[in-house]
Amino acid sequence: MIPDDIRFCVAPMMDWTTRDCRAFHRVLSRRARLYTEMVTTGAVIHGDRERLLGFSQAEHPVAVQLGGSDPSELAEAARICADLGYDEVNLNIGCPSDRVQDGRFGACLMREPALVGDCVAAMKAAVSVPVTVKCRIGVDDQDPEAALDALADAVVAAGADALVVHARKAWLQGLSPKENRDVPPLDYGRVHRLKARLPDLPVALNGGIATIETCRDALDHVDGVMLGRAAYHDPEILLRVDPDLFGEPAPVADGFEAVEAFEPYVAARLAEGARLSTITRHMLGLFAGRPGARAYRRHLAMEAVKPGAGLETLREAVAHVRRAADAADARKHAA
């Protein structure tokens, strides 16, 4: 199951990789491994599980990402998530936000590899699905060589099934979470050296990867790649995952077929009481760069929020792109 299942992953992203986003991404790739937003152990144990953790069976393979630092709480949360049917439980050791630091989890745990090892060991003892860790190469003034090795050695000793490494440091003071995604320099070589040192540990690379070509290059050095914003803002990139990285046909031919294939899911969610805009906000990047894409986005932004908006609203938005494509074809043939 690991490492082939981590060959291509869509990163967990707060407020973005919701159940609706994941369901749409699954239409575009059968093989991409999908991740939830980070969910804290307290929310899993005490919160509204259907709202926080509900997912459709079509999303498999799908992993849940947990935030926490108490081994017993993480074990309980992992057990709950495994019982719900998640294929993997991932521990967040990479998020740099103040709220996460205040709760003593996320990237600040790079400074406490022994505790992370205890957390992983407790989760492994609680569930039979893979337990993985997503981390940075270090935080603040840590030496990335020593910091990443210490974290990796601790989780390997605890039985972690894979490590996903965002190849940047996290600066916990002075940089916002947004700046932490861009400002610290990427160091892919550091992740390559980790994989070379621990050849039996499945390692996936995250951070700054924006094209399938870059994915292929990275896979010469590591077992998997994880895309975040690139996959979200231009979801049609996922259409190349199955053919280019797995040698299998894409599930749909293009964005038009993707919308048609997604319509039954949208209809079902609308019947449950979901607003159209809740679903389609994750589709705004579709058709990026094509004629009519701006009109498509504008139509959804203005119309999908209205009470009663349904499938016809989505079809009308897509029609802007179809008309633009037809007009371009007509001009081409006329020339």
Could you list the active site residues? 95
**Residue 13 marked ligand-binding:** yes
**Residue 302 marked ligand-binding:** no
Q: Which amino acid is at 230?
A: A
**Residue 123 marked ligand-binding:** no
**Residue 229 marked ligand-binding:** yes
**Residue 14 marked ligand-binding:** yes
**Residue 12 marked ligand-binding:** yes
Tokens 């973005």 belong to residue: 16
Q: Are 52 and 80 in contact (CB under 8 A)?
A: no
Tokens 């210490």 belong to residue: 150
**Residue 134 marked ligand-binding:** yes
Q: Are 144 and 60 in contact (CB under 8 A)?
A: no
Q: How many alpha carbons lie under 13 Å from residue 258 in its C-beta half-sphere?
A: 24
- Phi-psi region at 53: left, alpha or beta (left = phi > 0; alpha = psi -120 to 50): alpha
**Residue 207 marked ligand-binding:** yes
Residue 34 has phi, psi (to 5 degrees) of: -105, 150
User: With the CA atoms of 228, 234, 236 and 238 taken in that order, what torsion angle do they form, in degrees rounded to the nearest 10?
Assistant: -10
Residue 319 has phi, psi (to 5 degrees) of: -60, -30
| Dist. CA 143–CA 169, nearest whole Å | 10
**Helix, strand and coil percent figures for the chain, each rounded to 5:** 55, 15, 30
**Residue 65 marked ligand-binding:** yes
Residue 58 has phi, psi (to 5 degrees) of: -65, -15
| Dist. CA 106–CA 93, nearest whole Å | 4
Q: Are 6 and 30 in contact (CB under 8 A)?
A: no
Q: Tokens at residue 313, please?
A: 């609203």
**Residue 273 marked ligand-binding:** no
3-class DSSP assignment, residue 9: strand
Annotated binding site for FMN: 12-14, 65, 134, 166, 206-208, 228-229
Annotated binding site: 12-14, 65, 134, 166, 206-208, 228-229
